[in-house]
Amino acid sequence: MMVLSLSGCSIISPAPLWEAAKGAATVATGSLSIATPDASNTVYHLHPTFKEVCIEYNPQAEVPDMVPVLQRALRDHGVESRVYDRFAVPPDCDVWLRYVAEVEWAVPVFEDQYKLNVSAVSLKLQRAGGVVLSSSDYRNNNFMGRGKWASTSDKLKPVVSALLTGFQ
């Protein structure tokens, strides 16, 4: 007959269901905070397609990777881009992309350090004369923080897609 003996140490909680519930809630909250966000408030007016857009650089948008992410998302739709300062407007830009971004500092789930978080972005596509072709936004969903800690790229891809096609 075999006898199994255990040492005096145990890592089993006296309340396993409570510990399991806490763990599940933590995972669910963390998953929602990095879930893929959606575009919102999209307005799209039918217009001829274009292959190039000029991006008006906004120094007030404190998102370090904003312009490279916008350019990559545009390129994914077959649209090339150039970046210009607001006061250096070249005459050959027929379509402009203008943007505004809001950021906040917060502590992500499972971490203890503050990080920069893109909380809102508004994109507007315009003809050189100012006619709005389309606009679309990203807003951090305050309910459970859905998409709050997603990357800038994950936040902007659906917004750029909605801006160019009218759909996400």
Can you tell me which residue has the tokens 């510990």? 19
| pLDDT recorded at residue 41 | 86
pLDDT on residue 114: 95
| 51 DSSP 8-state letter | S
Q: What percentage of the chain exceeds 70 in pLDDT?
A: 76
pLDDT at 71: 98
Q: What is the pLDDT of residues 15-58, one digit of tens each?
A: 665 555 455 545 544 444 455 688 888 898 998 899 999 999 99
Among residues 52, 57, 32, the alpha carbon closest in space to that of 148 is found at 32
Phi, psi values for residue 32, rounded to 5°: -65, -35
Q: Which pLDDT score, from 0 to 100, does residue 131 have?
A: 94
What is the pLDDT at residue 129? Answer: 85
Residue 161 Cα to chain centre, angstroms: 12
Q: Which residues contact 149 (CB under 8 A, 6 or more apart)?
A: 33, 34, 108, 109, 115, 117
pLDDT at 25 (0 to 100): 47
Q: Which domains does the chain have, with CATH numbers?
A: 35-165 (3.30.160)
Whether the CB-CB separation of 20 and 14 falls below 8 Å is answered with no
Q: Mean pLDDT of successive 10-residue segments in the chain (168 residues)?
A: 58 58 50 65 90 95 95 97 88 93 89 92 93 94 70 94 90
pLDDT at 145: 59
pLDDT for 108: 84
Q: What are the tokens at 54?
A: 């000029």
**Model pLDDT, residue 30:** 47
| pTM recorded for the entire structure | 0.77
Residue type for position 104: E
Neighbours of 5 (CB within 10 A): 4
Say if strands 80-84 and 40-44 run parallel, antiparallel, or are unpaired.
unpaired
